[in-house]
Amino acid sequence: MKITLLCALGMSTSLLVKKMNQAASARGLDVEVEAYAVDSLETQLKTADILLIGPQIRYKKNEIFPKAEAAGVPIEIIDMKAYGTIDGEKVLDQALELKKRGND
């Protein structure tokens, strides 16, 4: 499963990506987490199973969410507290729950 994090420039989430990949590996999950700039949304919609957007770009929600929904890709804003504390476990759980809801 590919989890894509979108942020302003694709750089501010790099530590969170590392923590999420470590958490997935520790759980034995076949998960790939990557971060990209929000400007690459169209490209990411072609390969992502889950999209999470950084809280700092939540103002783009009305632009991003309809495109993700049209492409059938579940999307949410990353929990602000988990993002701020770089809690890879919690953000991974958020992504897995989003995927589960998308499959229900």
CATH of the domain at 81: 3.40.50.2300
Residues 97, 14, 86, 22: is their CA dihedral positive or negative? positive
- Active-site residue numbers? 7
Strands 50-53 and 2-7: parallel
Q: What is the pLDDT of residues 44-83, one digit of tens each?
A: 999 999 999 999 999 999 999 999 999 999 999 999 999 9
Here the tokens at position 90 are: 């919690």
**Rounded to an integer, what distance in angstroms lies between the CA atom of residue 42 and that of residue 23?**
28
Q: Could you give the number of structural domains in the chain?
A: 1
| pLDDT (mean) for 83-103 | 93
Domain that holds residue 61: 2-103
How many Å separate Cα 41 from the centre of its chain? 12
Q: Is residue 38 within 8 Å of 6, Cβ to Cβ? A: yes
